[in-house]
Amino acid sequence: MSAEVLFYIIIAVFIIGFVFNKILEFLNASWFKKPVPEILNDIYDSEKYTKQQNYLFDNHRFGIFTSSFNFIVILGFLFLGGFAYVDKVVSEITNHYILSSLLFFGIIFLLSDIISTPFDIYDTFVIEEKYGFNKTTPKIYVFDKLKAWIITSIIGGGLLSLIIWIYNLDPVNFWLYAWGVIIFFNVFFLMFYSVLIVPLFNKQTPLEEGALKQAIIELGKKAGFNIDKIFIIDGSKRSTKANAYFTGFGPKKRIVLYDTLVNQMNTDEILAVISHEIGHYKHKDIYKSLFVSILETGVMLYVFGLLANSEILSQSLGVSEPKFHIALITFGILYSPFSTVLGIISSYFSRKAEFNADNFAANLGYSISLISALKKLSSNNLSNLTHHPVVVKFTYSHPPLYDRVLNLLNR
C-alpha cells in the first residue's frame, strides 16, 4: 500500500465517521416532537415542555454547526498538509525526540482550543444562560481554562514524555511497558481525582452533622456498604444542573453530592440516588469498567507498537521519515472505527449496569423515590424524553428515562 492510498483511507474513515454521527443526531432530532410516554406526562407542563423543546432544538442546531465547522477545518488541515507543516515548524526549533513531540502536540492542542473556545463561550453564556442553567462568571470561565491548560500540560505532557521515552528505549516491548504505566496512571487517577484535581475547580465540604448525614449512614448499613466520607460540592457556582457521584475505591471512596441536588430533592430522593450508586459498587461495575478499559488500551498499544515505526504512517500525512507523533495521529484516525464498535458494545453493558443499579435501589425500598428523583433531574435539566431507539443502542451509556421508570414500576 502506498502512502497516497493510506492518506485517502484516512480521509474516508474521517468522513464516514462524521456522516455516521450526523445520521444518529438527525435520527434523534426526528423524535424530539414525538408524544411523551404517558408515564412521563407529569414531568413537564405545556409551558415548560415548549421550553424543553426549544432547548433541544437550539442545542441540536448549534451542535450541527459546531461539528460541521470542526469537520471542515480538520479536513482542510489534512488536505493542506497541516500536520506536516506543524512538524516542519517544530523541526526548526528542536530535533529532540521528546521535546519535538511535546511541542507538536502543544501546538495542535493550542490551535484546537483557539478554534473551540468561541463555540464553548457561546454554549455557556448564550444557550445555557438563555435557559437559566449557567452560573459561570467570565472570571470563573477564564480561570477554569487556565487551570485546565496547566493540568493538561503537566499530566498529559508528563505521561506522553514517559511513553515516548519508553518507545525509544525498547520499541519491541514498548506496548507492554507503556501499558503498565497507563494502568498505574488510571488507578492512581481514579483513587485520587477528588483529592488532587477537583479542589482546583470546586470546593468540597464534608456534609455537616444532621438528619441527612445520619440517613445516608443508615442507608450504608442497610446496604452493607461502609460510608464514612460524604462531601457537598459547590456545583451551583457554574450551573443549576444537579448531580451526584461516587469516586475512588477502597479507603479512598467517597460520596459527592452537588449542592444543587441537595437543594432540589428531598431526603428519600437523595437516598434513592445514593442507593443507585451503591448498587454500582456492590455489583463491582467500577472494577469491570476499569478492567475493560485496561484490556482495550493494551490491545491498542500492542497494535500501535507494531506500526509506530512504519514509514507509511508518517508519509501518509506528508512527513518523509517515521515520527512518533505523526504515527500517533494517523493511527488515532484509523483506529476510530474500532473504537466506535467497542463503544457500542461498552454502551450496551453500561445500560445493563444502570438497570442493575436501579434494581438494587428498588430492592432497598427506594423504587418510587428513585422514579421521583429521576423525573426531577429530567425536569430541572430540560432533558429529552423521546429517544430514537437506534441512537440509544449505538451511543447511550444510560437507558432512556422511560425504560428506567417502566423497569422500576414493574419491580
Find the farthest-apart pair of alpha carbons in the chain and give their distance in angstroms, rounded. Answer: 69
Q: Is 277 one of the annotated active-site residues of the chain?
A: yes
Please write the tens of the pLDDT for every residue from 320-350: 888 999 999 999 999 999 999 999 999 999 9
**Of these residues, 277, 285, 354, 403, which one is catalytic?**
277
Please write the tens of the pLDDT for every residue from 362-394: 999 999 999 999 999 999 999 999 999 999 999
What would the DSSP string read from start to end of 144-193? HHHHHHHHIIIIIHHHHHHHHHHHHH-TTTHHHHHHHHHHHHHHHHHHHH
Residue 53: in which H helix or E strand, if any?
helix 46-79
Please write the tens of the pLDDT for every residue from 220-240: 888 888 877 888 999 899 999
The fold adopted by the segment(s) 204-276 is: Zincin-like (3.30.2010)
The model's pTM is 0.88
Task: Give residue 207's pLDDT.
Answer: 87
Q: SS in 3 state form for 390-405? A: HHHHHHCCCCCHHHHH
For the chain, the structural domain boundaries read: 3-200+283-409, 204-276
Q: Is 87 one of the annotated active-site residues of the chain?
A: no
**Of these residues, 128, 269, 358, 403, which one is catalytic?**
358
Task: Compute the half-sphere exposure of residue 352: CA atoms within 13 Å on the CB side of its CA.
Answer: 10
DSSP H helices in 283-323: 285-307, 311-315
Is residue 246 left, alpha or beta, with left meaning phi > 0 and alpha meaning psi from -120 to 50?
A: beta
pLDDT(249) > 80: no
Q: What is the rounded average pLDDT of the residues 278-293?
A: 89
Please write the tens of the pLDDT for every residue from 75-117: 999 999 999 999 999 999 998 989 999 999 999 999 999 999 9
The amino acid occupying position 234 is: D
Task: Give residue 209's pLDDT.
Answer: 87
